[in-house]
Copies of this chain bind each other. A is one copy, B any other.
Amino acid sequence: MAGVSAPTVSKVINGRAGVALDTRRRVEELLREHGYRRPEAVEPAAILEVVFSVLESHLAIEIMRGVESVAREHELAVGFSEMRGRLAPGRGWIEQVLARRPTAVIAVYAGFTPQQQGLLSTSAIPLVALDPTGEPGHAIPSVGATNWSGGVAATRHLLDLGHRRIAKISGPPGFLCARARLDGYRAAMDAAGIPVDPALVRDGAFAFEDGLARGAELLALPDRPTAVFAGNDLQALGVFEAARRAGLRVPQDLSVVGFDDLEFTRWCGPPLTTVRQPLTDMGAAAAELAVGLAAGRPPAQTRVELATTLVVRQSTAAPA
């Protein structure tokens, strides 16, 4: 039906190279139309593919480390691809994956269309979401971190130091992880009986520039905050810079807490007090889930959230 030779069909089914992209596409489509599902006996390629949104590139190495440690135990290679900010990988990408037939795909904050999920499913390629941004709405098994609890821990730390005017710079409102961290902040403030001043809560992208801009606004207030809980580490470094420009010292004049625990924050001025996401463990958990699915074991739970931990360094102190 496809007008190609049997060896070509075999190459497509077995995910080997040497077939033109449009031929591969035609054969794959015919296979799907006729309800072909690869038999278990056809071994997939010994590779776990990890797909990143460019947003998460600062987190990538730690995640890859975790995936690799599990992959190595199972004698699998780890594949890397980056979507460069497109939230769903392009058509070309999914076809390349179908051709390679990896053991499983791990999507790091990467959205897949239902059609793409269907294509992976037809080919019996399991899909797992690793989601440092905390989106729990996946139909597919996913791994995240406890963003809300991290928000509580960071805010409680500042309260324990004696701060009362604690500002919150949040992430993009559409990101559930940003909402969870913000809700944790509110919960800790409420529990301590401190009303939240709406002027001290601001949104921004998860970027240095937004930390700098929102930080500058907050520090220019007549009754400025004595502490800022940033949405992530990049924003926190932006607040450092806003403080420098305002002639304020961290932590003597201003306490700052981040979120993520990116390695380089310990080299960027006073080592940053932050909420650590266990990215390596999250990568490993996603890989375990993926390997289990590939072996036909349904996961015990479809959403795993690993604990965050407050790491106290030198950017927080009692208010002057």
Contacts and interface: CB of A to CB of B under 8 A. Distances in A.
A47 to B, nearest CB: 6
A81 B80 contact: no
B96 A80 contact: no
A264 to B, nearest CB: 4
Contacts of A50: 80
A237 interface: yes
A102 interface: yes
* Nearest 8 A/B pairs, CB to CB: A268-B268, A77-B79, A237-B267, A264-B264, A16-B43, A17-B46, A78-B80, A208-B267
A82 interface: yes
Contact of A64 (B45, B82, B244): B82
Chain A interface category by residue count: 35 or more
Interface string A259-297: 000101011110000000000000000000000000000
A81 B78 contact: yes
A4 interface: no
Nearest to A45: B45
A61 interface: yes
A264 B81 CA distance: 21
A75 B102 CA distance: 13
A228 to B, nearest CB: 16
Contacts of A61: 57, 60-61
A100 B47 contact: yes
Looking at A11, A18, A82, A208, the one whose CB has the most chain B CB atoms below 10 A away is A82
A21 interface: yes
A210 interface: no
A276 to B, nearest CB: 17
A58 B62 CA distance: 11
Nearest to A234: B267
B47 A75 contact: no
Nearest to A212: B267
